[in-house]
């Protein structure tokens, strides 16, 4: 008897709370002011007709990316899409699709910089013409923090993250967001070469690396080709806080690695003397060879003459 009761309870539970949640039915607001907050998950609707729109908003931290996967199922054919707006209600991204017959899926991602600690992003979904029988949004958040900072490195000197010599990993948004630059600050204590190497970890990106002096003037810069490493350096004569800027271009989010190295004066002198030694050896070698050829020529000539 007990088993039957337990079985009945489980069946009732499964009817009320299905194991597979196919998506939550959610209606957005009809303006920015009445926008409805989205948390990560899948949201379905009951369809939209031409002229209809709904507003949502999400909150993200600096260094996080908003990820949307949109599925549009038209009734025959329909036109509609998604627009992202910032907190000031300025359009950031617009993606509109003409969908005919089969449902279509597209993705939007937007990586946010550290101009603010947290960002409110509005999402407007709309149908411009005809009708979608369903307009599904899958919303997720992905972290693209620089180094192990749990945030995004600043877009300028003021927000630079402190580093020391070593290898680090960071991210830039490319066209998918507003994280266009990352600034780092490195204290240089000794006179010598400050070397900066950076490489995009995707072939679709080109990366730039620059070094700024204590007065925040650029003193070394290199712009690379797609997927290529860049290397730039500058001989530092005055210790102090120097700055590094990494920039990049791509249609996708750019993961990158960079390394900051120092070569002190001592090493530089050693390197110079090595080349000097090499040059002297080369010159003496040439003189010796000419002498040998000259003497040999003389001997052969004298034998031939006899």
Residues 126-155 that bind Ca ion (CB under 5 A): 146, 152
Shortest distance, position 154 Cβ to Ca ion, whole Å:
9
Q: What is the CA radius of gyration of the chain?
A: 32
Shortest distance, position 244 Cβ to Ca ion, whole Å:
13
Q: Which residues are paired to 56 by β-bridges?
A: 36, 123
Residues 178-207 that bind Ca ion (CB under 5 A): 179, 182
Shortest distance, position 179 Cβ to Ca ion, whole Å:
5
CA dist 219 and 57 (Å) reads: 43
Residues 16-35 that bind Ca ion (CB under 5 A): none
Write down the residue that tokens 């960071």 correspond to: 170
Q: Which range binds Ca ion by CB under 5 A, 166-174, 188-196, 254-262, 278-286? A: 166-174
- Closer residue to Ca ion in complex, CB, 45/152: 152
- Closer residue to Ca ion in complex, CB, 37/251: 251
Q: Are strands 181-188 and 161-162 parallel, antiparallel or unpaired?
A: parallel
- Closer residue to Ca ion in complex, CB, 179/206: 179
Q: Is the dihedral of CA 61, 251, 221, 276 positive or negative?
A: positive
Q: Which range binds Ca ion by CB under 5 A, 23-31, 40-48, 67-75, 173-181? A: 173-181
Tell me how far the alpha carbon of residue 6 is from its chain's centroid: 52
Using CB under 5 A as the binding criterion, the count of chain residues that bind Ca ion stands at 5
Residues 59-88 that bind Ca ion (CB under 5 A): none
Q: Which range binds Ca ion by CB under 5 A, 97-105, 157-165, 176-184, 267-275? A: 176-184
- Closer residue to Ca ion in complex, CB, 176/233: 176
> Residue 270 to residues 235, 267, 273: CA-CA distances in angstroms?
15, 5, 5
- Closer residue to Ca ion in complex, CB, 59/178: 178
- Closer residue to Ca ion in complex, CB, 147/223: 147
Shortest distance, position 151 Cβ to Ca ion, whole Å:
9
Shortest distance, position 245 Cβ to Ca ion, whole Å:
11
CA dist 8 and 97 (Å) reads: 47
- Closer residue to Ca ion in complex, CB, 54/152: 152
Shortest distance, position 180 Cβ to Ca ion, whole Å:
9
Shortest distance, position 52 Cβ to Ca ion, whole Å:
37
Sequence-ordered list of residues with C-beta below 8 angstroms from that of 242, at least 6 positions apart, any chain? 185, 186, 187, 188, 194, 211, 212, 213, 214, 236
Write down the residue that tokens 């650029």 correspond to: 218
Shortest distance, position 144 Cβ to Ca ion, whole Å:
7
Sequence-ordered list of residues with C-beta below 8 angstroms from that of 81, at least 6 positions apart, any chain? 70, 94, 95, 96, 97, 125, 126, 128
- Closer residue to Ca ion in complex, CB, 151/233: 151
Sequence-ordered list of residues with C-beta below 8 angstroms from that of 218, at least 6 positions apart, any chain? 210, 211, 212
Assign 197 to helix, strand or coil: strand
> Residue 256 to residues 49, 62, 144, 147, 268: CA-CA distances in angstroms?
43, 18, 11, 10, 29
- Closer residue to Ca ion in complex, CB, 35/60: 60
Q: Which range binds Ca ion by CB under 5 A, 120-128, 172-180, 255-263, 275-283? A: 172-180
Interface residues with Ca ion (CB under 5 A)? Answer: 146, 152, 171, 179, 182
């Amino acid at each position: 008897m007990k088993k039957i009761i337990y079985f009945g309870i489980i069946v009732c539970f499964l009817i009320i709370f299905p194991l597979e949640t196919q998506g939550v039915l959610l209606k957005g607001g009809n303006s920015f002011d009445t926008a409805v907050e989205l948390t990560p998950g899948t949201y379905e609707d009951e369809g939209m007709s031409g002229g209809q729109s709904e507003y949502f908003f999400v909150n993200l931290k600096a260094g996080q990316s908003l990820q949307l996967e949109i599925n549009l199922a038209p009734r025959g054919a329909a036109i509609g899409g998604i627009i992202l707006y910032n907190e000031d209600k300025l359009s950031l991204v617009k993606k509109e699709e003409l969908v005919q017959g089969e449902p279509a899926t597209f993705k939007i991602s937007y990586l946010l910089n550290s101009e603010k600690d947290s960002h409110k992003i509005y999402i407007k979904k709309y149908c411009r013409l005809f009708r979608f029988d369903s307009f599904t949004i899958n919303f997720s958040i992905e972290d693209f923090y620089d180094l192990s900072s749990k945030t995004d490195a600043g877009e300028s000197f003021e927000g630079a993250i402190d580093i020391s010599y070593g290898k680090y990993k960071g991210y830039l948004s490319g066209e998918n967001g507003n994280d266009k630059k990352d600034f780092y600050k490195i204290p240089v204590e000794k006179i010598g070469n400050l070397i900066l190497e950076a490489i995009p970890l995707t072939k679709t990106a080109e990366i730039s690396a620059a070094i700024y002096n204590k007065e925040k003037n650029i003193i070394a810069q290199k712009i690379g080709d797609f997927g290529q490493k860049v290397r730039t350096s500058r001989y530092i004569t005055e210790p102090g806080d120097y700055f590094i800027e990494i920039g990049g271009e791509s249609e996708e989010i750019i993961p990158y690695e960079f390394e900051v190295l120092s070569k002190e004066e001592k090493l530089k002198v050693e390197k110079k003397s090595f080349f000097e030694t090499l040059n002297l050896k080369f010159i003496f070698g040439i003189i010796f060879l000419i002498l040998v050829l000259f003497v040999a020529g003389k001997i052969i000539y004298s034998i031939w003459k006899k």
